[in-house]
């Protein structure tokens, strides 16, 4: 979510053309859930079922999902559902008892990481994983300073909300949080790698001036809420070196780009030729079941593990482990990482081809099935036009959202089974809609 997206997606009674039944649902929702919740789109969608890359409304109409990385291997994947049901019918308990499934899952998951990251701790959400990482970083470094990008999203706990710049003025940054510009060519014309690393160093200097010791640089390795900035490959390595030189740790937040989404690599950080001190995971890890985690280097967890204990009632429970194993099996057996590379490349090519005849399409930034597409008016990024396009696509039964500090880019992040035919549907619809905006 971005500041602009939050505003554009705030439904108020009277907006859109809701049926009487859906208007009643919206009114009941507002009364029961209070004012802090938001709905997508000017006319909210009433969904009742999901299958593969489609979601279905109460009338049975299919919507192509171009946004949902939570159902990473597809909505309601039968193998994942079966694993969940079978384990829930057998045993559902936590990690304070010996249980083989959690160990099998941990070993399978860790085998996908570099050997330098041999430990994993389980949580329920990515927010919890990032919160835990911050606690561990403080114990390991003795510092409290945190560096984030200036429209980052890292969670909803108190600590992670304070380092989530995309929440805007409703949640002020914590006193030890130091935002830096996102790694775009516009922000670092002298070169993204050198510029971003220099920004990290300058943030550490600002900390020192205030008597604060660095603890952590945390980045979403696709910079999804900042606008999607995957390239050039390798640019993150100097920034990681800079925070370590200052005594802090580097945390790769893989909640959005992880599990094969970038196509060429299983993890986003691997595109940058570095090994993080910690890696947080969530969302696609359980394909909708609340499963998240934190992979760590041994030296990072040593002090924390010696002085504190960790327990999470539901994190890493037996059902979560069974679901996690099923997700890894599906990614492997259905070659979903390879599919992300092939289909994502075709999607990006198609968008760049459309841009040759539609002035509204600007820069396309892509890594696998994670794409940011700038929307322009008169050559300038236009969040209002982007919002109109998001809603027009919704009206044409394609679900998508926007990203970036001003919400001027489409955020394209579909389930990994997305096909070339699905890409063609989106491109054909865009070709038809763009002249109407």
What is the three-state SS of the chain? CCHHHHHHCCCCCCCCCCCHHHHHHHHHHHHHHCCCCCCCCCCCCCEEEEEECEEEECCCCEEEECCCCCCCCCECCHHHHHHHHHHHCCCCCCCCCCCHHHHHHHHHHHCCCCCCCCEEEEECCHHHHHHHHHHHHHHHHCCCEEEEECCCCCCCCHHHHCCCHHHHHHCCCCCCEEEECCCCCCCCCCCHHHHHHHHHHHHHHHHHHCCCCEEEEEEECCCCCCCCCCCCCCCHHHHHHHHHHCCCEEEEECCCCCCCCCCCCCCHHHHHCCCCCEEEECHHHHECECCEEEEECHHHHHHHHHHCCCCCCCCCCHHHHHHHHHHHHHHHHCCHHHHHHHHHHHHHHHHHHHHCCCCCEEEEEECCCCEEEEEEECCEECHHHHHHHHHHHHHCCEECEEECCCCCEEEECCCCCCCHHHHHHHHHHHHHHHHHC
Residue 237 has phi, psi (to 5 degrees) of: -60, -45
Going by C-alpha positions, the residue among 285, 277, 225 that lies closest to residue 252 is 277
The pTM for the full model equals: 0.94
Bridging pattern class, strands 145-149 and 177-180: parallel
Q: Give the span between the Cα atoms of 370 and 226, in whole angstroms.
A: 13
Q: Are 148 and 219 contacting, i.e. CB atoms less than 8 angstroms apart?
A: yes
Strand arrangement, sheet containing 119-123: 119-123, 292-296, 278-281, 249-253, 214-220, 145-149, 177-180
- Taking the C-alpha atoms of residue 323 and residue 356, their distance in angstroms, rounded to an integer, is 44
> Tens of pLDDT along 6-40?
434 443 433 457 889 899 999 999 999 999 888 99
Six-digit token string for 149 = 């990008």
Query: Does residue 437 have a pLDDT over 90?
Result: no
Domain co-membership, 104 together with 88: yes
**Whole-number pLDDT of residue 14:** 38
Distance between alpha carbon 205 and the CA centroid of its chain, in Å? Answer: 29
Check whether residue 116 and residue 148 sit in a common domain: yes
pLDDT for residue 170: 56
Q: What does DSSP say about strands 292-296 and 119-123: parallel, antiparallel, or unpaired?
A: antiparallel
Same domain, 340 and 316: no
Q: Give the mean model confidence (pLDDT) for residues 328-348.
A: 98
Q: What is the structure's pLDDT at 12?
A: 41
Lowest average pLDDT, out of 3-17, 40-54, 63-77, goes to 3-17
Same domain? 228 vs 329: yes
Could you give the number of structural domains in the chain?
A: 2
171-175 mean pLDDT: 76
Token pair, residue 15, equals: 């907006």
Domain boundary among 333, 356, 376: 333
What is the model's pLDDT at position 431? 98
Residue where one domain finishes, among candidates 333, 357, 380: 333
Residue 217, beta-bridge partner list: 147, 250
What pLDDT is attached to residue 11? 35
Query: Per mean pLDDT, which range of 29-38, 58-67, 213-222, 249-258 is the poorest?
Result: 29-38
- In a shared domain, residues 218 and 319: yes
| Domain region containing 384 | 3-73+335-436
How does the average pLDDT of the chain come out, rounded? Answer: 94
- Pick the last residue of a domain from 286, 301, 333: 333
Domain co-membership, 114 together with 263 = yes
d(CA 232, CA 57): 40
Residues 141 and 170 in one domain: yes
What integer is the mean pLDDT of 256-262? 97
Q: What angle do CA 256, 258, 261 make, to 5 degrees?
A: 90
How many CB atoms are located within 10 Å of the residue 310 CB? 16
Judgement on whether residues 323 and 366 belong to the same structural domain of the protein: no
pLDDT at position 171: 65
Cβ-based neighbour number of residue 142 at 10 Å:
12
Strand partners, 366: 371
Q: Name the one residue in this structure whose structure tokens are 């027009």.
A: 392
Q: What is the CATH number of the domain that holds 299?
A: 3.40.640.10
Q: Which residues have CB under 8 Å from 198's CB, separation 6+?
A: 242
242 and 158 in a common domain = yes
Cis peptide before 232 (omega within 30 of 0): yes
Confidence class for position 172, pLDDT limits 50, 70, 90: low
Do 115 and 199 share a domain, yes or no?
Answer: yes
- Residues 318, 432, single domain; the answer is no
Q: What is the pLDDT of residue 79?
A: 98
The CA angle 408-403-425, to the nearest 5 degrees, is 85
Q: Which residue has the tokens 């200097």?
A: 205
361-400 residue pLDDT tens: 999 999 999 999 999 999 999 999 999 999 999 999 999 9
Asked if residue 372 lies in contact with residue 411, where contact means CB atoms within 8 angstroms, the answer is yes
Same domain, 278 and 137: yes
- Find all residues with CB under 8 Å of 363, minimum gap 6, and list them: 372, 373, 374
CATH number, position 354:
3.90.1150.10
Picking from 22-31, 115-124, 195-204, 210-219, which range would have the lowest pLDDT averaged per residue?
Answer: 22-31
Kindly tell me if the per-residue pLDDT of 3 is higher than 90.
no
């Amino acid at each position: 979510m971005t500041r602009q997206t939050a505003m554009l997606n705030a439904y108020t009674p009277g907006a859109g053309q809701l049926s009487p039944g859906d208007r009643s649902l919206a009114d009941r929702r507002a009364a029961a859930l209070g004012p802090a919740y938001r709905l997508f789109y000017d006319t909210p969608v009433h969904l009742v079922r999901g299958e593969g890359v489609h979601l279905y409304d109460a009338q049975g109409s299919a919507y192509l999902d171009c946004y949902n990385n939570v159902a990473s291997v597809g909505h309601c994947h039968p193998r994942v559902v079966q694993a969940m049901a079978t384990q829930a019918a057998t045993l559902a308990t936590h990690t304070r008892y010996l249980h083989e499934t959690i160990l099998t899952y941990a070993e399978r998951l860790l085998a996908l990481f570099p050997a330098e990251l041999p430990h994993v701790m389980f949580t329920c959400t990515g927010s919890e994983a990032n919160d835990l990482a911050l606690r561990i970083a403080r114990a390991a470094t003795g510092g409290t300073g945190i560096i984030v990008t200036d429209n980052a999203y890292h969670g909803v706990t108190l600590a992670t909300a304070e380092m989530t710049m995309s929440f805007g003025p409703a949640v002020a940054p914590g006193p030890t949080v130091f935002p830096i510009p996102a790694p775009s060519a516009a922000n670092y014309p002298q070169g993204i790698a050198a510029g971003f690393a220099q920004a990290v160093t300058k943030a550490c200097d600002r900390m020192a001036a205030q008597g604060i010791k660095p603890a952590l640089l945390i980045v979403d390795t696709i910079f999804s809420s900042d606008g999607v900035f995957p390239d050039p490959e390798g640019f993150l390595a100097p920034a990681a070196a800079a925070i370590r030189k200052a005594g802090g740790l580097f945390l790769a937040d893989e909640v959005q780009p992880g599990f094969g989404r970038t196509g060429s690599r299983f993890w986003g950080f691997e595109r940058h030729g570095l090994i993080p001190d910690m890696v947080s995971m969530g969302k696609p890890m359980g394909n909708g079941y609340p499963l998240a985690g934190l992979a760590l280097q041994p030296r990072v967890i040593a002090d924390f593990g010696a002085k504190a204990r960790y327990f999470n009632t539901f994190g890493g429970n037996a059902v979560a482990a069974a679901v996690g194993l099923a997700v890894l099996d599906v990614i492997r057996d259905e070659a979903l990482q390879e599919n992300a590379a092939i289909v994502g490349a075709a999607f990006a090519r198609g968008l760049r081809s459309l841009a040759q005849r539609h002035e509204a399409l600007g820069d396309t930034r892509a890594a696998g099935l994670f794409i940011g597409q700038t929307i322009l008016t008169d050559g300038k990024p236009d969040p209002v036009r982007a919002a109109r396009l998001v809603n027009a696509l919704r009206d044409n039964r394609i679900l998508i959202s926007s990203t970036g500090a001003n919400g001027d880019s489409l955020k394209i992040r579909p389930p990994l089974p997305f096909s070339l035919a699905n890409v063609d549907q989106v491109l054909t619809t865009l070709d038809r809609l763009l002249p109407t905006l």
